[in-house]
Amino acid sequence: MNNNSNQLWSKSFTVPLVNGANDKLIIDFNRLRFYGAPKTKKILSNDAIFANRDNLINSWKNNFIDLELRDATKIGWFNTFTIFINNADEEGIDLPSKSSVESWERLIVNQARAGKYKSSTAIKYFSIIKSLHKYFGYPYKEWFSPHALLPKEKTFPKYGYSDKELINLLKTLHKVFHKLESKISKNISQYIPAKSNSLNNNSNLDNDTEISTEITRCFSAAAFIFSYYTWGNLSTILNAPKPKKIETENGKWYFAEVEKHRANKFVTLELGTNNDLTVPKHALRFINKLLNLSNTLCPNIDNLFIQRDKGKFSSLKGSCLYKFKNWLAREFDIIGDDGTLLSINITKLRKTMSSRHLAITNDPIETAILLGNTPKVLRKHYSQGNEGNNRKQLIATSMALEEAIRLKDIQKGKKQAAKRLNLEILPYEEFLNKYKKTGVLQPQITPIGTGCKGGNSKQQKTYNKKMMFNNLNDKSQKLACADILSCFFCKNQVIIEEVDDIWCLLSFRDSIYESQLDYASYSHFYKSRSELIIKIDNTIKLIDPKVRKKARDKLQNNGRHPLWPEKYNYTF
């Protein structure tokens, strides 16, 4: 044991880097100067044995600095290299040598077979050490095995959020952001540190901790919302400068250019009014509030997203987002479809929005451009959708196909599936004509876009007295009964196969999903409304594809039907 190891530690063997989450880190080559590559803390505690190989380590350090790799990659490579050095020292093998490489390969293969690493992780480790030997100028082709030491394992895609999960997360994020933004804006002087600000006593420290936490949480929530609107990845969001605001014929636009380090290119984050990609007005209000707050708190910092620590402002770090998402899940008890705590994740947001856009447009080129990726990357990582939604589609499809195979006709199969679901689907004119002929008085539409063949019932009269929908519709048009939540369980219901009516039904469905935030818990909402949602989803899948697509496009482009505007969910 060398009792003077702390005196041998030298700052000249350290390399400052910044990881992908904007956190400043130092990789310490002093560790390689001691047997087993111990942690820096151990060296400074005089608990390390000097290996007397400074010339070799200095050469490695200089070559490492010259590597044309982004900092985050260098950090990962260095950590893997310390494992390699530790193994060679434990085996008593000289460095560098073919024996050290062979010992390393045996170690990783054995650990992978024992289940410590996945096969893909082990293969990555082989690649890193092989690449470093190549960069350091060693005969890597002779030293490393030319054969594949481990088979490639099958990779399973990660899915995006379901509609329910996405609405739940976004509502919570908006709630956190707007509440904190309002509080900070109303008391802005408390959040901007004065030049003479002192943090020497405990009361000042406690106050600053609370202020810093509120600012950091506000901008962390904003970062996730911004990612949802722009599809930006983690490094792009964290490095995003304050966007420029321009006025065009089409309205207001915000845009910012950000370097995407790993791809070695610049991507543009844009948010504004557009004829093809409709952005809701509340998105523009959000970015306006965010930009104003960032400019007010930190006019001298270029980054849009900021944090405050010990009285000083700096750009937002990835570690803050990590702490925030854990706090969010814990504080708001957000539950996913699988019954576990739901965590917000930027990658899953990108997967969710890109798979949605791809499903609507069926245009992989446009979707890839919006993501800032190639179509190949889109196919591999971003086209899986949501596992739960995919399963529902398969169930509905299999039901229709089962009937189609039995009846040897797709359209007959769909009709039979509708019959099994106890549904009647008719165009509007046919609906009116059919039930007028059968003696039903005034067949009418309901406020959810379906038809009612029940005539002038008591419920209908009560509804028209209580609910004031007439200001949104033709005065001569009366709506059916008040018990709209029971329509899908009523024998008098008829599905109207018209674009505007299906648009209304889709808007009603969105309102139901929104209402889950008014329930005590997700399980309470699921117990109350799951059967209705399943019936609506099964119904929509049986609508003529052309009508269904036009209705969905209308919902996407025009927003909800006037009968079901945004935030109109209190009736549930």
pLDDT at 271: 54
Pairwise pLDDT comparison (380 vs 243), residue with the higher score: 243
pLDDT at 332: 87
Scanning 24-160, the segments in alpha helix (DSSP H) are: 40-44, 54-65, 71-91, 98-113, 119-135, 140-143
The answer to which of 147-151, 390-394, 505-509 has the lowest mean pLDDT is 390-394
Residue 344 has pLDDT above 90, yes or no: no
Taking the C-alpha atoms of residue 65 and residue 254, their distance in angstroms, rounded to an integer, is 37
pLDDT at 213: 87
- Judge contact between 53 and 349, C-beta under 8 A: no
Residue 260 has pLDDT above 50, yes or no: no
What confidence category does residue 395 fall into, taking pLDDT thresholds of 50, 70 and 90? very low
pLDDT at 288: 80
Specify the pairing of strand 425-426 against strand 493-496.
parallel
Q: pLDDT tens-digit profile of 77-112?
A: 999 999 999 999 999 999 999 999 999 989 988 888
What confidence category does residue 58 fall into, taking pLDDT thresholds of 50, 70 and 90? very high
pLDDT at 437: 47
Residue 206 has pLDDT above 70, yes or no: no
Residue 544 has pLDDT above 90, yes or no: no
The answer to which of 440-444, 496-500, 550-554 has the lowest mean pLDDT is 440-444
Q: pLDDT tens-digit profile of 21-55?
A: 667 788 999 999 999 999 999 998 888 899 999 99
pLDDT at 398: 44
Q: pLDDT tens-digit profile of 177-203?
A: 999 999 998 888 888 764 434 434 444
- Average pLDDT of the chain, as a whole number: 72
Taking the C-alpha atoms of residue 220 and residue 238, their distance in angstroms, rounded to an integer, is 10
Q: Which pTM does this prediction carry?
A: 0.49
pLDDT at 28: 92
pLDDT at 491: 73
Stretch 381-404: mean pLDDT:
44
- Judge contact between 441 and 433, C-beta under 8 A: no
E-strand ranges in 442-562 read 444-445, 451-452, 493-496
- Judge contact between 80 and 127, C-beta under 8 A: no
